[in-house]
Amino acid sequence: MCGIVGYIGKRDAYPIILNGLKRLEYRGYDSAGIALYDGSEIQLCKTKGKVADLEAKVSKEMPTKGNLGIGHTRWATHGIPNDVNSHPHFSNSGNLVIIHNGIIENYTSIKKELINRGYIFYSDTDTEVLVNLIEDVKKNENVKLGKAVQIALNQVVGAYAIAVYDKNKPDEIVVAKLGSPLAIGIGDDEFFIASDASPFIEFTNNAIYLEDEEMAIIRLGREINIRKIKDDSLVAPYIQELQLNLEQIEKGGYDHFMLKEIYEQPSVIQDTFRGRLLADKGIIRLGGLEDYIEKFVNADRIIIVACGTSWHAGLVAEYIFEDWARIPVEVEYASEFRYRNPVITEKDVVIAISQSGETADTLAAVKLAKEKGAFVYGICNVVGSTISRATHSGTYTHAGPEIGVASTKAFTTQITVLTMIALKLAKVKGTISQSDYMLHLRELDLIPSKVSTALDKNDSIIEIAKIFKDATNFLYLGRGYNFPVALEGALKLKEISYIHAEGYPAAEMKHGPIALIDEQMPIVVIAVNSNHYDKVVSNIQEIKSRKGKIIAVVTEGDTIVRELADYIMEVPYTPETLSPLVTTIPLQLLSYHIALMLKRNVDQPRNLAKAVTVE
């Protein structure tokens, strides 16, 4: 994980790098650092803590002059978060300085070798090993920095996005990528380097996204020189125009990105439909799907691979694909799938779901499925992300940047895309009646306004949050389409409030979790209109007779559950098949308010990072 930023040009590098780090802090936030070239020396400042702590330290300790620099915000992999392990790292001579996002897996053996050659290590990191390896190669082979980076990277195993410069060559930064993202912003004789485009969006709309196993020598006054790390062959730069704007990556008056992103759901779901869902005409048009529809229609199975919240979206998809399109679906944790020697054939379609499009396990699952001959379809949010490029085809969710570590709008837009795919397939296969098809298209079109209505209940959810904020355990129960929503509700609560929470299919309660229920235990039950409504009511009765506290998500106008539950959170009526798109809203708000009341860092919960680019 980690975020990296760099600048070389005519402007002051410090404010650009500092602001860039603030924008990338979602990627890791246990320590931060910066290395500026001031015209003769490298000024370096780093600290355990957040970018704000770095800013405070720099203001006391470091001159901020200079037009060349690199910065880093860290999510620790090797070595605890402390000042010494923070990036950037110097080489032993003090000439080279590096930032790194990723893991060098064989760093121990390289470190031993370098120690034998007299190198001294001050940190526990794999990154310090890499910068000294580059230095060693540069010295022994008598080559320039770019060549030394290339030779060194051919000796390492692992993942990286790196930026490195030499104080004796201060018109050049060398970058390289394998497995971790790296974007280069192209200005007017100035260059920006970052893990994503957000740090430089106000300066340029032109960017190059390096591909895996590529490196670039970025030199002032020259064209960017991109090469394959393996064989040194030249790569023609492909400059993309960015779609991002500044407003999208700011909080826009909300206290937290998470709250902003929860409230953006009506509009981003609409964006996900735009030009794709023509409800009145009965048309669903998904660019990435049209050319490959036969692959889906003739598939023996659909296998969905994902992690975390995206995996929960996959579970919802299992219900809708099987229900409407009658295609068998398996939903796999990408991290298990990739190591399991799974049986996959050319008749399988694999769907990879990932907000960031960078999750290491999901990416590895994509590569494995491709190797085994499956057709692989990506559902990603981040345009141009590694997974979106690694798949054969796919659909973007168009949710806009999701910066809060807890996924919210990514989840509902993923379900929106998956719902459109399922309806389209059902229509093509003839497994859905015309009336059902048209009904669901129209209902899907109404979802943004129903999500708005669900959001309007925020005040009553704040009252419930006040009552349960000190609970130490929560259970979340749901059946059918709303079982994955129960899992997602529990994940949201635990990741941002640090309260233990478990999601279960409501009927499984009797097989164990019921033992947990006592008068203190809040149980969130999703009890909206559905084929299982009566059964959920029975589950609620069972909880009630054990004195558990019931917080029920109910359909507006419900009377039965309202009578039984201690507290209710209302959502508008939707057909059961689409209900996860609205039932998830009160659960997101409940988690947010509880975390806020407990004074948690809502956008950057402890130990987590937004893009999990390490396995």
Instruction: List interacting residues with ligand M6R (CB under 6 A).
Output: 307-310, 354-356, 359, 362, 405-407, 491, 495, 608, 611-612
What is the smallest separation between the CB atom of 486 and ligand M6R, expressed in angstroms?
15
What is the smallest separation between the CB atom of 154 and ligand M6R, expressed in angstroms?
29
Give, in order, the Cα–Cα distances in Å from 232 to each of 148, 182, 386. 12, 19, 22
What is the smallest separation between the CB atom of 421 and ligand M6R, expressed in angstroms?
17
For residues 407 and 482, which CB has a smaller minimum distance to ligand M6R in the complex? 407
Within 13 Å and on the Cβ side, how many CA atoms surround 552?
26
Whether 365 and 339 have beta carbons less than 8 Å apart is answered as: no
What is the smallest separation between the CB atom of 401 and ligand M6R, expressed in angstroms?
12
For residues 1 and 521, which CB has a smaller minimum distance to ligand M6R in the complex? 1
For residues 149 and 587, which CB has a smaller minimum distance to ligand M6R in the complex? 587
Positive or negative, the Cα torsion across 589, 591, 592, 598? positive
> Alpha-carbon distance 217 to 226, whole Å?
7
Catalytic residues: 2, 610
> Alpha-carbon distance 607 to 569, whole Å?
30
Q: Which residue is nearest to ligand M6R (CB)?
A: 308
Give the residue carrying structure tokens 């439909």: 273
Contacts of 363 (CB under 8 A, 6+ apart): 179, 354, 386, 387, 390
Helix, strand, coil % over all residues of the chain, rounded to 5: 40, 25, 35
For residues 198 and 309, which CB has a smaller minimum distance to ligand M6R in the complex? 309
The residues that bridge with 31 in the sheet, in sequence order, are 48, 74
- Structure-block tokens of residue 534: 């009566």
Give, in order, the Cα–Cα distances in Å from 42 to each of 7, 66, 145, 331. 14, 9, 16, 50
For residues 354 and 497, which CB has a smaller minimum distance to ligand M6R in the complex? 354
What is the smallest separation between the CB atom of 417 and ligand M6R, expressed in angstroms?
13
Q: Residue 579, Cα to own-chain centre: how many angstroms?
A: 24
Widest Cα–Cα separation across the chain: 80
Q: Residue 194, Cα to own-chain centre: how many angstroms?
A: 16
Give, in order, the Cα–Cα distances in Å from 400 to each of 85, 310, 571. 33, 16, 25
For residues 265 and 355, which CB has a smaller minimum distance to ligand M6R in the complex? 355
What is the smallest separation between the CB atom of 67 and ligand M6R, expressed in angstroms?
34
